[in-house]
Amino acid sequence: MPENDPLVCFKKVSLSYGTNEVLREADFDIESGDPLCVVGPNGGGKTTLLKLILGLIKPDSGSISVLGTTPKKARSNVGYMLQILQFDSKFPITVAEVIAMGLLESGSMRFGKHIDSASISRAMDAVRIVAKADEQFSALSGGQKQRVLIARAMVSKPTLLLLDEPTANLDLTLEDKLLETLLQFHPNMKIVMVSHDLGFVSGAVKQVLCVNKHVHTHPTESISAELIEELYGSSPRRILHSADLGHEHHHH
Amino acid sequence: MEALKQIFFDDSLFFMRQALLLGVIASIPFGTIGSLVVARRISYLAAAIAHAVLGGIGFSLFANHQWGWTWMHPMGGAMISGVAAALLVGWVSLKFKAREDTVIGAIWSLGMAIGLLFIFKTPQYIDPMSYLFGDILMISSFDIWLVSGLGILVTGMVLYAYQPLVALCFDEEFAALRGVRTTQLYLLTLCLTAVTIVLLVSMVGIVLVIALLTLPAAIASLFSRKLWHMMLGGTVLCMLFTFLGTWMSFALDIPTGPLIIVLCGLSYLAIVILKK
């Protein structure tokens, strides 16, 4: 695809789950460059947006292109981290094996002929989980699991990295440096992340994508009380309060 | 010990040695496929397939005696109904997630009921109990060859597609996003489960098949860090249970199948409680 084309392009995308309208004529581009945060109220369509980009669900109308092709065909160049940890707590799998899943190859039933253990080691190193490489995934703490899943999402060095609530369980030392760490691992990667944590968002990215049925792009500094009220449909005070809390947290 | 010596050296006890050998060889598919069944949490689906197989057995017995379809061997009928049930159950579990357990329960009981109706209508009397519980002491050398073939087939698949299988069992959505053909792999796993069940149902019965498919692998999972550790552990445990069960049943003069199930079941429960 040509250099300056947008990475993701939504054209009049609408989607409903039954009678529940999730997106209405969403029309936006995601350009390459700095990381982007997706914010919005619960049930506002943030995770749905990521799933549309991945081609896991199809829109009722409108079109989506990702990396110049269809979402399904683009998948091999897209990294993805799930939001909720719903993994079997007894499953016999080690940390290194979980990360190796991120290198599974498209189209074949087989694992890539040679396992790129150098990439796996580098990804583990980046999220500081090397010491746990041979431990069982289920024995890790919530924050450690989150780090493993981040490593799994980025180990293939994707063009586009989608993270759903990556800071939810992270310890603060890594949360502060999360984007820096990811970009150090693979500098040309476009990071798109969903977050509830407005404190983290305002400190970390320059641009936000506000999703609440409609989708708008804003520079982070333009997030005002009015915008939040419009977006969340509730008192900006409450939202800002929690954002402040997030900030306090960072200074601990 | 005296009993064991007798089993190995008494000429008239050839059938006991056959049973022991079958137990050892069958442990390979049981431990391997059993680990996939336990890790993917489809024990219930496997049990449904095992029972639905009776439908095919009943139909082929009926067709044999009523219409003279002598080419329709009960094992063939069981294989067709087993694979059909695996595909049906797999399709239901993929498409009707919300109603999965009820629909699978329906397939389970329907398959069994159809089998019993056919058996009832078959002119010659057949005891359905022999299919529910089987008899490990009644097997032939041909059975042992069949199960060896199955062991090779199953081991081959696992060696070929180990990583995608791990991914399928651990996180299917992610595996699909990475381009793994998860639906095909899942249905293939279910079909191999069905083939394992069918081959061994006729030898050891439905109930023992379910026990040996799930319990040794479940015990191994408590001590495994990797899926292949679980497969290996499940296989070794399965060998141990069938060996001990066959030996003890001979020494104590009690039925073999139920004794193996009791050994597996009690060990599993004891280990789960002790590990708490």
Strand partners, A210: A39, A216
Residue A221 has pLDDT above 80, yes or no: no
Residue B217's Cβ-count burial label (10 Å; 0-12, 13-18, 19+) is: buried
The predicted model gives A139-164 an average pLDDT of: 90
DSSP class of B11:
G
Query: Which domain CATH number covers A241?
Result: 3.40.50.300
Q: What single letter denotes the amino acid at residue A207?
A: Q
Number of C-beta neighbours around residue A247 at 10 A: 15
Out of A56, A80, A104, closest to residue B164 by CB: A104
* Six-digit token string for A133: 């490489």
Count of domains observed in chain A: 1
Inter-chain contact B225–A136, Cβ cutoff 8 Å?
A: yes
Q: Is residue A155 part of a domain?
A: no
DSSP label at B179?
Answer: T
CA dist., res. B231 & res. B240, Å (int): 14
**pLDDT over 60 (residue A213):** yes
Per-residue pLDDT averaged across A173-198, rounded?
A: 83
What pLDDT, on a 0 to 100 scale, did the predictor assign at position A85?
Answer: 60
C-alpha dihedral, B249 to B255 to B257 to B262, nearest 10°: -70
Minimal CA–CA distance to B22: which of B131, B133, B132, B148?
B148
B39: nearest CB among A91, A106, A108: A91
In this predicted structure, what is the pLDDT of residue A226? 63
Location of structure tokens 């408590």: B222
Contact B227, A92 (CB under 8 A): yes
Residue B269 token pair: 């429960």
Q: Is residue A31 part of a domain?
A: yes
- Residue B36 and residue B245: Cα distance in Å, rounded? 24
User: B22's torsion region: left (phi>0), alpha (psi -120 to 50) or beta?
Assistant: alpha
pLDDT of residue A9: 92
The list of chain B residues with pLDDT below 50 reads none
Q: Nearest to residue B219, comparing CAs of B169, B158, B269? A: B269
User: Which residues from B are below 8 Å from A when comparing CB atoms?
Assistant: 39, 41, 160-164, 166-167, 169-171, 173-175, 177-181, 184-185, 221-222, 224-227, 229-230
| pLDDT value, residue B206 | 84
CB proximity list for A20: less than 8 A, separation 6 or greater: none
Nearest to B153 by CA among B38, B35, B53, B28: B28
Whole-angstrom CA distances from A123 to A92, A120, A161, A182, B182 are 21, 5, 14, 9, 25
* Token representation of residue A80: 């993805």
**Phi, psi for residue B117 in degrees, rounded to 5:** -65, -45
Q: Which of B122, B257, B143, B256 is nearest to B202 (CA)?
A: B143
Between CA A91 and CA B230 the distance in angstroms is 10
Hunting for tokens 């320059």 — which residue is that? A206
* Per-residue model confidence as pLDDT tens digits over B170-191: 998 899 888 888 899 999 999 9
Check: CB of residue A23 under 8 Å from CB of residue A14. yes
Least confident of A46-50, A177-181, B184-188: A177-181
The whole-number pLDDT of residue B65 equals 85
Nearest to residue A220, comparing CAs of A92, A39, A91, A45? Answer: A39
DSSP secondary structure string for all residues of chain A: --TTS-SEEEEEEEEEETTEEEEEEEEEEE-SSS-EEEE--TTSSHHHHHHHHHTSS--SEEEEEETTB-HHHHGGGEEEE-SS----TT---BHHHHHHGGGPPSS-SSPPSS--HHHHHHHHHHTT-GGGTTSBGGGS-HHHHHHHHHHHHHTT--SEEEEESTTSS--HHHHHTHHHHHHHH-TTPEEEEE-S-HHHHHHH-SEEEEEEBEEEEEEGGG--HHHHHHHHSS-HHHHHHHHHHHHHHHH-
Q: Is residue A176 part of a domain?
A: yes
* Better pLDDT: A240 or A47: A47
Higher pLDDT, A214 or B263: B263
Q: How far is A76 from chain B (nearest CA, A)?
A: 6
Contacts of A101 in chain B (CB under 8 A): 163, 166-167, 170-171, 174-175, 178
List all residues 6 or more positions away from B101 whose beta carbon is below 8 Å from its beta carbon. Answer: B44
pLDDT at A245: 37
Comparing B1 with A12, which gets the higher pLDDT?
A12
Which of A33-37, A104-108, B189-193 is predicted least confidently? Answer: A104-108
Over the stretch A56-98, which tens digit does the pLDDT of each residue have? Answer: 889 999 999 999 999 998 988 999 987 656 677 788 999 999 9
Whether A202 and A220 have beta carbons less than 8 Å apart is answered as yes
Supply the DSSP string of B202-258, one letter for each residue: HHH-HHHHHHHHHHHHHHHHTT-SSHHHHHHHHHHHHHHHHHHHHHHHHHHT--HHH
| Antiparallel, parallel or unpaired: β A36-39 and A207-212 | parallel
Within a domain: residue A107? no
* A91:B185 CB<8 A: no
Instruction: With respect to residue A102, please indicate whether it lies within any of the assigned structural domains.
Output: no
On whether the CB atoms of residues B46 and B71 are closer than 8 A, the answer is no
Q: Do B174 and A136 touch (CB under 8 A)?
A: no
pLDDT for residue A180? 85
Contacts of A94 in chain B (CB under 8 A): 225-226
- Note whether residue A111 is domain-resident: no
pLDDT of residue A222: 67
B183: nearest CA partner in chain A: A109
Query: Among A65-79, A175-189, A217-231, whose mean pLDDT is lowest?
Result: A217-231
Quick count: other Cβ atoms within 10 Å of Cβ B92? Answer: 20
Domains of chain B: 2-271 (1.10.3470.10)
Question: Which tokens belong to A238?
Answer: 């409450």
Owning domain of residue A200: 8-91+160-251
